Amino acid sequence: MKALHFGAGNIGRGFIGKLLVDAGIQLTFADVNQTVLDALNDRHSYQVRVVGEQQQIDTVANVNAVNSSSEAAEDLIAQVSLITTAVGPVVLKLIAPTLAKGLAKRRAAGNEQPLNIIACENMVRGTSQLKDHLFEVLAPEERDWVEAHVGFVDSAVDRIVPPSESADSDPLAVTVETFSEWIVDKTQFKGALPAIPGMEPTDNLMAFVERKLFTLNTGHAITAWLGQQAGHKTIRDAILDQNVRAVVQGAMEESGAVLIKRYGFDPEKHAAYIHKILGRFENPYLKDDVERVGRQPLRKLSAGDRLIKPLLGTLEYGLPHTNLVQGIAAGLHYHSPEDPQAQELAQLLAEKGPAATLVQISGLDAASEVVAEVVQAWQAQA
């Protein structure tokens, strides 16, 4: 079996690429970073440091790489039976034209074998969003064929992979935590489910996507944003700060109450899930900067993402949301000279003030009580 994976970054190399190669799949990465492409094509292998109480170094071998918008990438799309991505939500739109050209070549070549595409991004139903981008650029005469032959499989992906501390000396170095979880929607595959140990099929994906995004990523973002305010550089230092931890845990519990009500999760098991996540944030073997985890605040504060969607759930069910409000206020305070979204946020705040900025980013109702609550928390944090 052959696969093409878009995005040879931290999750691409450290999680999805490794699982595919471990399953005996012949893997090619597609990326735009020439240094990474050259290193992959030079060495055809790289090492993954798995860190925890026990540490191990695994070698991922026999891999190749192509430029993401090249004809070589299109030709592979025409041949492979699996395409995965870990490029970041904003890049999905950028890879759609290459996908469209590759799928047109596949059809022209008469390749009727099923192809499955799985986006492994931190977003709800990312593959479905990639499909929307693809259909915007796909020629109308290709659409029925693509619907019939290509499975667009949504997934939830969980493994903390910060940039490696050795990245300066080795562009392929990658350090990952021991924990990993990749859950895919088995109802969306075309043809037989590929046998990939570590890929878990479910017919209840939304529950798992929301459980992950609205627990781990909710708590992670708040740890980063409040951590930055308190002067911490890393997620570990931030979560060991009892003031930060209390809000993070409180927000995960508030979001958890929504998830329990919506999906019927067992409350005790959900409490254990939160407890385990707090331990993962504390991992002494990983150096994860608050800037990585707090990045792109406009995306993280948007309507369907990790703060606002759980907040809306608490409003829907009449549940407490004090800590989520603190987290959202902290997101509005997030600053980073390197991050264009943080720059845009600062400009919005300067021009419009906190209430109008929040309403614009999150889609919350300007007249709602909760907007006033966030503004009050924002002022208190200043």
Ligand X SMILES: NC(=O)c1ccc[n+]([C@@H]2O[C@H](COP(=O)([O-])OP(=O)(O)OC[C@H]3O[C@@H](n4cnc5c(N)ncnc54)[C@H](O)[C@@H]3O)[C@@H](O)[C@H]2O)c1
Ligand Y SMILES: O=P(O)(O)OC[C@@H](O)[C@@H](O)[C@H](O)[C@H](O)CO
**Binding flag, residue 6, ligand X (CB under 6 A):** yes
**Binding flag, residue 167, ligand X (CB under 6 A):** no
**Binding flag, residue 92, ligand X (CB under 6 A):** no
Work out how close the CB of 218 gets to ligand Y at its nearest, in angstroms, rounded to a whole number. Answer: 9
CA distance 66 to 57: 25
Q: 21-60 mask for ligand Y (x: CB under 6 A)?
A: ----------------------------------------
Contacted by 7, from ligand X, ligand Y, none: CB < 5 to 8 Å by type: ligand X
Site for ligand X (CB under 6 A): how many residues? 27
Work out how close the CB of 163 gets to ligand X at its nearest, in angstroms, rounded to a whole number. Answer: 7
CB-wise, 281 or 378, nearer to ligand Y? 281
**Binding flag, residue 98, ligand Y (CB under 6 A):** no
Which position among 30, 130, 222, 260 is part of the footprint of ligand X (CB under 6 A)? 30
Contacted by 9, from ligand Y, ligand X, none: CB < 5 to 8 Å by type: ligand X
Which position among 3, 4, 5, 9 is part of the footprint of ligand X (CB under 6 A)? 9
CB-wise, 172 or 216, nearer to ligand Y? 216
Q: Is 6 labelled a binding residue?
A: yes
Work out how close the CB of 31 gets to ligand Y at its nearest, in angstroms, rounded to a whole number. Answer: 17
Contacted by 219, from ligand Y, ligand X, none: CB < 5 to 8 Å by type: none
CB-wise, 131 or 212, nearer to ligand Y? 212
Residue 143 CB: number of other CB atoms within 10 A? 12
**Binding flag, residue 220, ligand Y (CB under 6 A):** yes
Angle between helices 308-317 and 242-263 (to 10 degrees): 60
Query: 47 is written with which tokens?
Result: 């090492």
Work out how close the CB of 141 gets to ligand Y at its nearest, in angstroms, rounded to a whole number. Answer: 36
362 near 303, Cβ under 8 Å?
yes
From 30-38, 134-142, 233-241, 253-261, span contacting ligand X (CB under 6 A): 30-38
Per the annotation, binding residues for NAD(+) are: 3-14
Residues lying near ligand Y in the complex (CB under 6 A) are found at: 122, 158-160, 216-217, 220, 293, 295-296
Per the annotation, binding residues are: 3-14
